[in-house]
Every structure is written in C-alpha cells, then in structure tokens.
A and B are shown apart, each in its own frame.
Chain A
Amino acid sequence: MKTPTLFVLATLALSVGCATAIPPKELVVAREEYSAAARSPTASMKPAELLTAKQELDRAEALFVDEGDSKATRDVAYVAHRKTLLAESTARTAAATKQMDEAGVQFGSTQAQRLEDTTARLQTAQGTLKDTQGALVRSAADLDKEKVARVEAERKAALAMADLQRIAAVKKEDRGMVITLSGGVLFATDKHDVQSSAMPQLNQVGDALVKNSPDSTITVEGHTDSQGAASYNHDLSQQRADAVAAYLVSRGIARDRVTARGIGPDRPVANNGTVDGRAQNRRVEIIVTPKP
C-alpha cells in the first residue's frame, strides 16, 4: 500500500507544482498593457479588438492557474500582449483616419467658400464693368454733342468775322475780336454824335454782332490822338464811346452786354507825329469777347 500512496502523492505534488505563485514576465507585461489599454480611448474606439486581447489574456490567466509558469502560459501571455498592442494601434489608426476625413471636409468647405467668394467678386466686377461701359457710351455721346456745339460756335464766329470784315477792320486779339472804326468816319472833328453818313456801317456792325455773337460781351473804347489836353481827349473819347454803345443798343444789342470806356490818347496804334498816324489813332474799338 505504501508504493501506490507515494505514487499518488507524487502525482498530486506534480499537479500542484504546476500552479506556482510567481507569474512569468510575459504575463505581467500582458496584464499591464491590457490595463493601460482598457483605460485609453482604445476601449471605446475598438472594443472588439480589445475584447479579443482580453480573451487571450484570460486564457493565459487560466493556464497560469492550471499550469503555473509553463511554456503555454508564457506563449499565450506573449500573444495576449501582442493583441493588446494591436488593438491600441487599430484605435490610433482609426483616429488618424477620422482626422484625415475631417481635414478633407474642411478643405472642401474652404474651397467651396473660396469659389463662392470669387464668383461673387466676379459678378461685382462684371457689374462694375457694365456700369463703366455704360458711362463710357454716355461720355462718348456727350463728347459728340460738345463737338457739334463747338463746331457750330466756331462756324458762327467765322461767319461773324467774315461779315464784319466786309464792313470794318477786324482783328483777332487776345482780348477778343477787335473791330476798329475810324474816328474820322464816325464823328465830325471835336464832336461826339455819330454822323449819319457812318450809320450804315455801324448798322451793319450792330446787325452782325446781334446775329453772330448773341452772347458775347461788347466793350466800346474811344481813342484820340495826342493833340490837345489829355483831360479833354479823355472826355471826348468817353463821350464818343458812349455814343457808339448807345447806337449799338438801339440796333438790338442788350444793354447789359455793352460797356463804354474812354481811353483818350493813352493807347496809340500809330505815330502821333504824322498826319496819317494821328488819323489812325483817332478811332473807336469795339471789342467782342465771347461768353466764357
């Protein structure tokens, strides 16, 4: 009876001996890794993969209980550890994929917004272009009108000049169109009433001015030669200018357009030393300034 008991005891001892208290390094590492993974986002992101790892770890624990630090315990613990790492990597990969997708959506959204903005700017630019083109067309029309008006004004001025040139000496100066009428023709010596013989000429001047320069300003200047007292000459020239101005008004030129000035001997046009020169200096100038 001793041998069988010994044999049984030996078998029991061996069986008990399989379940030693100190876990192998592989099992310790597997437990730690699983514990960390269970507390990390892996648990929520990849529960299936983590469960697989847990199942392997449970198998390793069971083996450890049954067999202690056996090769199988170590192998299964080793694989449980790898499966835990795999679950964690899968979770990180899923997070990266999600980030990529979100970035893609953001990019798409930015591009769509940019397209919208560009389209809006293009439409605004097109609107501005249309307005500008419209304005250009209107300006061109206005320019044409202006041109026509200018041509017409020039035509009228040329006509006026031509008309007057038939009647009197006309010169274009900076101060305007200057019609010079001889003092000797208009007035008797020392007189300031317009002679009737001069009236036809003056009539024509007046008519031409009324017809061709309706808006101009008219300045009538009386001039004398240098003979006699200056004050006398100033008075005479003023009176003569007034007379011609009054005559022009009587021919239809508006009163407010006409100014009369006596210049006296102050602005000779010829040499007062000769008979001819003095005759030239005795004159009336009608200066026609167009409306500005």
Chain B
Amino acid sequence: MQLLLLGPQRKAPVLADAKRHMRLKGPLALVTAGWQEHETDDGELKSILGDKSINLGLYGRANQLFENDRELFDEHRAKQDELKQLQRFYRVRLNAAMAVYERFTLKHSEPPRLIEEATEAVLEDIRRLDEEHLERVLNNRREFARRTGLYERDSVLEQRAEVQALVNECAGIAIAGGHIAILLNRLRFFGMRACLQDKPVIAWSAGAMALSSKIVLFHDRPAQGPGYAEVLDSGLNLFEGVIPFPRARERLRIDDPARVSHLARRFAPARCVPLEADMWAELTSRMWRSFGARQFTDAGENIPWSSGVDAPTEMP
C-alpha cells in the first residue's frame, strides 16, 4: 500500500514532486468526478501526471447510468434528499450543543476542574451526536443498496467492469478534489474501494477526505451560520486515525487555540491533519510519514506531525 494525501493542488505546487516520489512505472488512472461538469477539463492535470493518464470519467459514467436507469436515478435522488434532511436535523442539534460548549470555554469564576469536567461532558455529547449521525447515514446507504439491488444491477455491474479494466492498465490512481459528496458517491457507485486497495494512490483535498474513515466538513468563516465543523459520512475507509483538513489556513481560524483544541479533542483519538498546498503525508504498510504535514493538539496548537508514526490499526 502506498497512499499520498495532499492539500489543494489547483496551482499544483507539489503534485509533480509527489508523483515523482511514488516512482510509478506506467500511467495513472484519474478521478476528477469532484469537478462535476468540468470533469474532462483535465489537460493541465495530465501535463503534470503524464499524458498517458486515463480519466475514468466517473461523473460522466454516473450521468449515463442515471439516464439509462431512471429507476435507479429516482431512488438515488430520494436517498440524497433524505441525506440532506438528516444533515439538517443533525446540524440543528449540533449547533445547540456547540453553543453550550462555547459557553464553557469562556472565562469563568468557577474552579477550572469543574469547568473542564463540564466541557468534557459536552464534548462527549457532541461525539455521540456525530456517531449517531454517521450511523443514520450508513443505514440510509445500506437501505438504498438493498432497495435498488445496487451491487447486482446490470447497469452498474457493466460500468464497474469497464472501470476496473481501465484501472488494471494503470500503475496507480490519482483522485482530485472538488465536491466531496459527489466524489464519494461516484467512487462508491463504481466500486473504487477495491481498486484503491490494490494500487498506489495519490489523493488531494476532497480526494483525501473521501478515502478517510470520517469525513468532516469545516469552515470557520462561512458566509452564513456559525461555522461549526460537522461530520458528513464515513469515507471509503482506506485509512483510519487521520482526518484531513485541506486548506486549513484559509478555512479555519488556526490562530485561535480554542477552535483548534476543540477539533483535536472532539475527533480524538484520530489526528486532525491540516493539509496545505505545499505538504503531504504518506502511508505505506502501517507507517505514516510526514512531508511537511502538521497536526492539531488538545492544547490548541498546530505542530509538525512527526514522521515514522504508526497507523493505529490494521488496514481494513
């Protein structure tokens, strides 16, 4: 297993270096489904990753699938509508819990020990809320698969076989960022998890998030709303124990120890790893190596992430 996680690469600052580091002999399979209708605008990407790279076209394939299988499309839309509703309900509860959490993190006259206990209790509530939500999302997905017979459907199996055949011709897989939910759905539809386990992978931004065991949405300065991080779904579970936060410097108030500490504590024991444009993290066998990557701490710091860190569990 060789997995490289990178931050945003729109101006591709380290993508070429990362690819060289992988020492691949052969073309890459590209996944740019997160770019949606711009999926095939991959000229610049191919100039960096190699002209012989093969875009798997997962976004276009899904559109084709839905056009040919209207029943599947209708079920998919209904599933997505329900997921949006579940996310809204979860957000209402989360916002209330976070308001309580924030109150406890203000200065108090009470003894610090009592405040810390109260804060930890609220954090425990938030963690439970996160897990409940993930469970509901998982059930939604399972029910969709059961109701549609997704994995036995001819229309799906045909596309999966095509994708697999293309991947077989490639030495590795590159997954670009973009819209995380759309990317994740397309990766799942076309059985990409199995492909990803067999090949070296380089993934950035939403691509990195999609491969994790927990996808966290985040923005401390949103145009609307309080900007509390929320869980979306489990990803493809290619690795555990690390939660990527791409472009953290821009999206998060990482100079605010209270905000950083909250993330680190809430998602512990997983490491919260901000991924900027000029760094990456590599997973081989069971070992993480950091190439400039950092991590958040309970104390609210953003410190270098040490290399040679064991991945906490066996790869699923």
Instruction: Please indicate whether A and B come from the same complex rather than being unrelated chains.
Output: no
